[in-house]
Amino acid sequence: MTNRFLAKTVSPALSTVFAALAGTVAVATGLACSQSAPQSAELDAKWKDASFYDLQVRTLDGADSTLQEYAGKVTLVVNVASQCGLTGQYAGLQKMYDRLREKGFVVIGVPSGDFGGQEFDTADEIRTFCDTRYSVTFPLLEKSVVKAGEKQSLVFQCLGTKTGELPGWNFGKYVVSRDGKRAVFFPSTTSPESAKVIEAIERFLAEPVPETAKTPPEKTPEKTPEKTPEKEPVKAPETSADSTATPPKV
């Protein structure tokens, strides 16, 4: 029973309660752990040496973008949902972002309704919820498909291939290295502030920023040498045509 169906048949308050219960049941039954990601020679060749930061994405506001702006950072990628029993993890994600962003860390939330239909339909609803309930300032991408298949987001195809695991419920987590070529997966039941997640983040933060991700220093514009004004040639005094030189006296 999805939240969309609940919204048409019961009050908003009860719908929220059912959504929370669905998340609790998922955690209790182990559905929230993870699921195996498809593995094949084709996927391995596509993603093994590829950088996560080379992906083209779309922001929550619908703008085309690239993850290249986060290259060189350590990234925590999370499939988020606004009406889940685990939605409270937003608070921990924001705390992590505030605490570690100056060290080169970023959180990227990817809204999805794959599990229990627990995400709003529109970007405006998602943004309003995140702003008003959790004051979220970290980047959010467009609502996406997490589960394997033709419509799966390349974000999760890439990270699933690299780790062999996909989220089995809302709030699965990937810690991605600075070069974007390695990742570690943590299931929904693992808090973003858990010792395991923090250890993985700090381990990647301790690595040097790849040369390819460093911003080249701004070049100081070369000064054009000033031109020395050309001196006008000194003109010889004009001599009258009919004047004669006076010979010196002896």
198-242 per-position pLDDT tens digit: 999 999 999 999 988 876 555 555 666 666 666 665 565 555 555
In the DSSP assignment, the letter for residue 195 is H
Closest CA to 97 of 77, 112, 124: 77
Dump pLDDT digits (tens) for 37-81. 999 999 999 999 999 999 999 999 999 999 999 999 999 999 999
In which band, very low, low, confident or very high, does the pLDDT at 109 lie, cut at 50, 70 and 90? very high
- Long-range pairs for 129-133 at CB < 8 Å and ≥24 separation? 129/82, 130/82, 130/90, 133/90
Q: How far apart are CA 9 and CA 3, in angstroms?
A: 10
Residue type for position 204: F
Q: By the 8 A CB rule, do 149 and 51 touch?
A: no
Does 4 score more than 50 pLDDT?
no
Dump pLDDT digits (tens) for 139-176. 999 999 999 999 999 999 999 999 999 999 999 999 99
33 is catalytic: no
* Annotated catalytic residue within 33, 84, 130, 158: 84
Look up the CATH superfamily of 3-210: Glutaredoxin (3.40.30.10)
Tokens of 175: 């810690």
Dump pLDDT digits (tens) for 5-19. 444 444 444 444 444
Q: What percent of the chain has pLDDT over 90?
A: 70
What is the model's pLDDT at position 214?
A: 74
In the DSSP assignment, the letter for residue 94 is H
Is the pTM value of this prediction over 0.95? no
Q: How far apart are CA 250 and CA 238, in angstroms?
A: 27
- Long-range pairs for 23-27 at CB < 8 Å and ≥24 separation? 23/84, 23/85, 23/86, 23/87, 23/116, 23/118, 23/169, 23/170, 24/85, 26/85, 26/115, 26/116, 26/169, 26/188, 27/85, 27/86, 27/169, 27/188, 27/189
